[in-house]
Structures are given as structure tokens and as C-alpha cells.
Structure 1
């Protein structure tokens, strides 16, 4: 089972930017089939793509999903296709909402923060939290995954805060980048969630973390958006 090879931000070139490492299909909350996704990705010239469906511990369809992706990918030998999962943090220790079987079957695992566990089996209501509380909780959940979870990528860092309050605190981004670099995992440049992508890229230039590129594509017209945005910024032109 092959895994994507990630590089430091400073090493991004035309080939390593020409990828899409967060895609969802009609298996979960995406709007297109895996076959349609690959057809469009091929037309847009992507060299590599990762299907990263949302999973939970009780997900029972993943083996069938893997078989489908392996089969349809043979129709596109021009592209490297990975199959993986996006799974959320369940506590500040890095526990993930994913089964051992899905972990073993995945080429790539994205660890993300989606909801804030309340410690009693439920979730906190975002509406009851201040911006400062939201940022602090998301940071602590993220750091737990970075330090302890079996993930390849920290997906859409600061995403829950950014969807509700705007730009995520720079100090938290800085600490997360440094921690992912120390652990040897990637932090995602995600064009869907980043409120200030330019500033995030400035931090990447400064800290030079290992990075993954993802558009969080749920629709066909979203494929390769992150690649294209980076190219517009002059990244990966060599």
C-alpha cells in the first residue's frame, strides 16, 4: 500500500503542487461519483489525487469503497490515486473516531477538528463559546492529534474557528506548524477553510513545515482549486 510523499514547503515545485489530497464523493457528503471525480481531475491535469471520505468508528462500508477506488483508478494510469479517510478528534489526547480496520486500509489519514467533545459523550454548542474559547479548544484538540494520533495530515487547521470567527490566531498556527514538523507529519494548506491564505503561506515560508495540498473538494468544480490558488501566488512554478 503506497502513501503520498509530502515535502517541506520550501521544496514545493510544479510537480508537488499538482496534487489534490482532500476529496469527497457521494460515498459521504460529496456530490459526484469517484469515476466522475477522476475524469474531471484528469482533464485538469492533476498528477495525484486522494479520496478522503469522512469516517467514524462504526463505518461499515469502507472496504467496499476501497475496492471501488482501486478499480476506477485503473482507468486513469496517468494519475496516482490514493484512498483514505478524514476522521475527527474525540479528545485532547489524540483519540480518533476511526476503526483499526479503516486505519489499516487507508493510504492517507487526515485528522481534523469538526466538533468539540464535552467529555461526557456529547459535544459543546459552538454558540455558547467565545471566540477565545473556540480557538483554545480547537488548538488543544489539534495538538493532541499532532502529538499522538496515527495521522498523516492535520486537515483544515483552525477550520472550525475560521468558519465562525475569521482569521485563526497566528500564534496557534505557528505552534501547530512547529509541532507537525517535529512529528514528521504534514499540515494542510486548505483553500476552502483558510480565511487569510496569504498570511498562512507567509508562516509556511518562515517555519517551512511539511505540507499537504487540499481543496476539500465536494463538487467537481472545486477540484484543483488549492493547486490553482498556489500557482496564482507563484508557488510551485519551478
Structure 2
């Protein structure tokens, strides 16, 4: 990943946690638009990002294996970005794990068009083409399934970022095992991909940052922004907590 341009032909540069500076925190690398479940257009998002002084922005839209609109989405984003020379703009996707071997719900055509790929756990496949019911799963089972799906992506999937790690457990049970976070960070570091610091899902940001300080993984900064008001939230929270002081 070499350099950054406003209309990117490169990819985002990820840094290890202890190497973060205020400038390197000044990014927003998970944003959703009205192409899926976001509330604003690419142009509106770029205008707000400029007002908030963000230096880099990644549009990471939700995709499925049968998604056909991604080329038009990418074209719209890059067209809007031509008016924002002071922001590095990346076009990517957020795609979910389909099994414990790291298979993703995304086509190769979409992957080939991405500057950044976020791998996530959103649902738990039941092995029969459907999904398990979250309401029927204990915290322990939820955490175990999420961990195994995450590790499959980290080890085998063509992803740049393990996004909102532990997110399903955190949303439904308010916790995720520290040992699992540590193992996931260690695995991402071994593969030299990033693990996301996500202000939308993390219920105990200081504890997660303490683990980042310990393991020192490559990190990605993401607010999981679906509304204009959420842009830059993760950056702001990290700065409030004293991150990026190197």
C-alpha cells in the first residue's frame, strides 16, 4: 500500500497501534451510503468529511455474492471525489463470513474493484444454507461461533481488515472474551492485516485499546458511519482517550 491520492489507485495504509499519531488517526475507514443502509450520498458524506477535517475516507458498502451494482457505486464515489483533492478516497466493501474456512459472501468481480475489503461476522451459518437464530444461542455459544468465523477469515480470506471484531457478541450480550480478542489481534498481526477499532460496537474502548497496546496489531479506524453525524466519531473518541500520542 503505497501512498494516498484523492481519487485512489492505491490502497489505505494501516499502521501498528503503537505507531499511531494524531495524523494517522484522522481517518474514517468504514462508511456506508444510501446505496445500502446508509442515510446520505457519497457527495454529502465527502462534504461533511471535509468540514470535519478528515484526511482519508473509505466507502465500504455492504455486498453479497450476487451484488451487481458495485461498478456503478464505485463510479459514483470516484466522480464525487474529484471535487475533494484534500481527502484520500477509497472504495471498498464490507462482506460477511459464510463458513469457518473463510469463504466470503462476495464475488471476485467486486473484490477486484475494491481498494479495501472489510471482513465481518454478521450471521452464523447453520451449514444447510440458512442461519442460526441468535435468540436461541447462549453468550458462550455466540462468542465461540463468532471467534471461529473470524479466525477463518483472518487465516484464509482475501480481506484487508477484520471489521467490528466481536461485534455480534457485543451487540447481543455486551461482552466478548478478552482471550479471543487477543488471539484475533495476534492472528491479524501474523498475516499483516488490520483489526478494526470500531466505535459503534466496542462497549469498552479503553480495555480494547489496552489489548492493542499489548499486542500492537495493525489497526483500522472505523465509526461504521451510516449517518453524517457519525463521521469521525471513532477518531474523536480515540483522541479523547489519549491515543495517537506517538
Q: Taking structure 2 as the reference length, what is the TM-score of the superposition?
A: 0.96
2:161 match: 153
1:29 match: 37
User: 1:160-181 CA deviation, whole Å, 9 max, x = no partner?
Assistant: 0000001211000000000000
Gaps of 5+ in 2: 1-8
User: 1:27-85 CA deviation, whole Å, 9 max, x = no partner?
Assistant: 00000011000000000000000000000000000000010111100110000000000
Where in structure 1 do 4 or more consecutive aligned residues deviate above 2 Å?
Answer: none
- Out of 85, 96, 108, the position equivalent to 1:88 is 96
Q: Aligned to 1:199, what secondary structure does the other structure show?
A: helix
Q: Distance in 2 between matches of 1:68 and 1:110?
A: 20
Gaps of 5+ in 1: none
Q: Distance in 1 between matches of 2:99 and 2:221?
A: 26
1:118 match: 126
2:225 match: 217
Q: Distance in 2 between matches of 1:12 and 1:49?
A: 17
- Out of 171, 183, 199, the position equivalent to 2:191 is 183
Query: Does residue 71 of structure 1 match 2:71?
Result: no
Q: Distance in 1 between matches of 2:37 and 2:83?
A: 24
2:105 match: 97
Q: Aligned to 1:146, what secondary structure does the other structure show?
A: helix
Q: Taking structure 1 as the reference length, what is the TM-score of the superposition?
A: 0.99
- Out of 13, 17, 21, the position equivalent to 2:21 is 13
Q: Distance in 2 between matches of 1:130 and 1:168?
A: 12
Q: Aligned to 2:195, what secondary structure does the other structure show?
A: strand
Q: Distance in 2 between matches of 1:169 and 1:83?
A: 32
2:114 match: 106
Deviation at 1:222, TM superposition (A): 0.2
Deviation at 1:237, TM superposition (A): 3.9
Q: Aligned to 2:91, what secondary structure does the other structure show?
A: strand
**How many residues in Structure 1 have an aligned counterpart in Structure 2?**
238
- Out of 205, 208, 216, the position equivalent to 2:213 is 205
1:43 match: 51
1:54 match: 62
Query: Does residue 141 of structure 1 match 2:157?
Result: no
Q: Aligned to 1:85, what secondary structure does the other structure show?
A: strand
Q: Aligned to 2:46, what secondary structure does the other structure show?
A: helix
- Out of 173, 176, 181, the position equivalent to 1:173 is 181
